[in-house]
Amino acid sequence: MNNPSGIVSAFLISGLRLCRRPVVLLTVVLLVGLGNGTSHAADPRKGPSDVVLRGRVMPASGQAGRVVVVVLSRTDEEPTKFFDLTVLAQDETSFALSLPPKDGYQMAVYRDENGDEVFQENEPVWLSAELRERDFNADRLSPVLEATLHRGLPIPPDVLAQLRKSRSGAKQADATNESQIRVTLGMVEDFDSPRFSREAGQLGLRDPQVFAVRHGVAVSFLEPYAPARIPVLLVHGAGGAPGDWKSFVPMLDKTKYQVWLYSYPSGQRIEQSARMLSEAVVRLQKRYGFKRLDVIGYSMGGMVARESLLKISADGVPDYLRKFISLSTPWGGYEAAGLGVGTGSVVVPGLLDLKPGSEFQTQLFGHALPDSIDFHLGFSYHGASATGLPESNDGVVAIASQLASGAQKQAQAVRGFNESHASILASREMADWVNEFLDTPPPKKKKK
């Protein structure tokens, strides 16, 4: 939900049908918010920043299928182990992965010709030499490894065993069903990445499956992970993309925080996007052991983030969940989401969840956020006349929806900005408010 004409037109696209054929949903990532005790100082955990392992898959004619990049890990004391797996997007040939610093990484790259994310011995493959910390330069970057895939390459038995089980139960057949989706973590990208673009965001709204094949879904880093700075996860809205945050990111205090960006097909169900995000956050925390990660959700992304926080907390609230900010989120529903339903136009599942009175809207505040999560609500109110919206709006979402009573009751603070739905992300006043909130220790919770 980034502009009034864009979101409605994307919802009313005629002549298109959502594909129902099974599709492997590759690497998916998204993010959620966390906290650090009672202080907003940087994570005190010592240790160097991540290293970045870079590579390029050399083109080869006559080969079909997605490229799978497997990271293996070994030490002098431990045998080869599977560390993580990334499936490159369609036509993507380069990768840069942020990895915890250690000796003993090895890369295995293969072309997944049958689409099962499990290596078959007849599939073309390439293996790197073992990488030690000394192989990374002063900027902690590896050489650009050139992966030329060959069939019949001899593979050591311990490596082959890990490749055979590297799928790790992470396959998605259809972006509109309830199956699991694999998430890829720590791809180092910048705002020129195709998956960050406006075009990618619009595709993710109208056709989640094609988005997944063309761009992949990922939690991306703008720089290698640095344990001395707090991760802040940014979650875009319907029809949006990580590029929507380009103006905001430079206004975040980089001496204290590092940015992670969730890229996902916003046309799928909000619950599904939230589940992917929650699983990704748990994996990231296991990898890095961070004490805090804050989340900021914009527009529909506020709902995705909130649902993720609830899922992570379902079996006990982890102590790294602390701060959550929503910006211009339609907590009371999006009035225009019902347009086009039943008229033969494409029905976008994610927008159906935003329709006032939908099943999702009805249960939205059935569970409160844990008391340990400090929630601040930001809303925008500089609007004009817009089809399907009440007089008081920000150009896309009604003010009354942004200030739905269920959201206000759970917020520790509410702040309005004289901005439109789109311009709020470039607001210096909003960014100052966010920085102040992130820097302020959370209020002490009353003992029950």
Instruction: Supply the CATH number for residue 127's domain.
Output: 2.60.40.1120
C-beta separation of 83 from 72 below 8 A: yes
Mean pLDDT, residues 398-416 = 96
Residue 139 and residue 191 share a domain: no
Count up the domains in the chain and report the number: 2
| Residue 17 clears pLDDT 60, i.e. is over it | no
444 in a structural domain: no
- Nearest 5 degrees, angle CA 162-CA 117-CA 184? 90
Residue type, 126: W
Is the pLDDT assigned to residue 401 strictly greater than 90? yes
In a domain, 446, yes or no: no
Whole-model pTM: value is: 0.82
Residues 18 and 57 in one domain: no
Instruction: Answer whether residue 448 is part of any domain.
Output: no
**126 neighbors 147 (Cβ within 8 angstroms):** yes
Q: Is the pLDDT of residue 42 over 70?
A: no
**Residue 420 shares a structural domain with residue 332:** yes
Task: Tell me the percentage of the chain whose pLDDT exceeds 70.
Answer: 80
Q: What is the reported pLDDT for 2? A: 56
Query: Do 286 and 368 fall within a single domain?
Result: yes
Compare 8 and 127 and report the one with higher pLDDT: 127
Indicate whether 378 and 309 sit together in one domain: yes
Q: What is the mean pLDDT of the chain?
A: 81
Q: How many CB atoms lie within 10 A of CB 114?
A: 12
Name residue 377's amino acid: L
Last residue of a domain, one of 132, 164, 196: 164
User: Which of 116, 131, 164 is the endpoint of a domain?
Assistant: 164
Q: Please indicate, yes or no, whether residues 116 and 188 belong to a single structural domain of this protein.
A: no
User: Which of residues 391 and 206 earns the better pLDDT score?
Assistant: 206
Q: What is the CATH number of the domain that holds 333?
A: 3.40.50.1820
- The mean pLDDT value for 190-194 works out to 93
**Domain-located, residue 447:** no
Q: Which two tokens stand for residue 30?
A: 């998204």
Residue 147 and residue 93 share a domain: yes
Instruction: Taking each helix axis as running N to C, give the angle between helix 300-312 and helix 270-288, from 0 to 180 degrees, rounded to the nearest 10.
Output: 60
The answer to whether residue 379 is domain-embedded is yes
Q: What is the pLDDT of residues 50-92, one digit of tens each?
A: 999 999 998 765 567 888 999 999 877 778 888 888 888 877 8
**Residue 352 belongs to some domain of the structure:** yes
228 belongs to a structural domain = yes
Considering the domain architecture, whether residues 61 and 37 belong to the same structural domain is answered as no
Answer yes or no: do 257 and 364 share one domain.
yes
Q: Same structural domain for residues 254 and 129?
A: no
Q: Which of 164, 199, 224 is the last residue of a domain?
A: 164
Tell me the range of 96-100, 158-162, 426-430 where mean pLDDT is highest: 426-430
Residues 18 and 74 placed together within one structural domain of the fold: no
The answer to whether residue 23 sits within a structural domain is yes
Contact yes or no for 354/371 (Cβ under 8 A): no
**Residue listed under structure tokens 């206004």:** 251
Is the separation of the CB atoms in 257 and 438 below 8 Å?
yes
Same domain, 159 and 215: no
d(CA 13, CA 252): 36
What Å distances lie between residue 388 and 7, 9, 193, 385, 435, CA to CA? Answer: 12, 13, 34, 9, 35
Q: What is the pLDDT of residue 290?
A: 93
Q: Over the stretch 249-296, which tens digit does the pLDDT of each residue have? A: 999 999 999 999 999 999 999 999 999 999 999 999 999 999 999 999
Cβ–Cβ < 8 Å for 265, 210: no
Residue 412: domain span:
4-42+170-439
pLDDT in tens, 86-139: 888 877 889 999 999 888 899 999 998 887 778 888 899 999 999 988 899 998
